[in-house]
Amino acid sequence: MFQLVTGRDTVAAGLPAGYRAWAALPDMGNAQVFVEDEWLGYCRKAGLVLVMPVQSLPGAAMKQAWRRCAHVVVL
């Protein structure tokens, strides 16, 4: 999940550097990023800035949003 946070180094999480490319996803096509309300609240409280716009949803609403998507990537 921290690959969506500006300035985070993914190496500590054992992730390849390419994960920083998530910020370019909206430029590549119609993409929506859904995050759980609780997680977004944690990010805001911690002062973390995300690399792309996200839509905060409760868990049940997120499942419904996923069903409307052609492709889903879960981080």
Tens of pLDDT along 6-35? 666 666 656 556 555 666 666 777 777 888
- pLDDT of 42 above 80: yes
For 16, list phi and psi in degrees, rounded to 5: -70, 155
pLDDT at 29: 73
Tens of pLDDT along 44-69? 999 988 877 888 988 888 888 888 88
Which residues face 50 on adjacent strands? 5
Distances (CA, A) of 32 to 12, 44, 47: 26, 19, 22
Which residues face 57 on adjacent strands? 36
Spatial distance between the Cα atoms of 38 and 51, rounded to a whole number of angstroms: 18
The HSE-up count of residue 27 (CA atoms within 13 Å, CB side) is 6
- Tokens representing 72? 């889903």
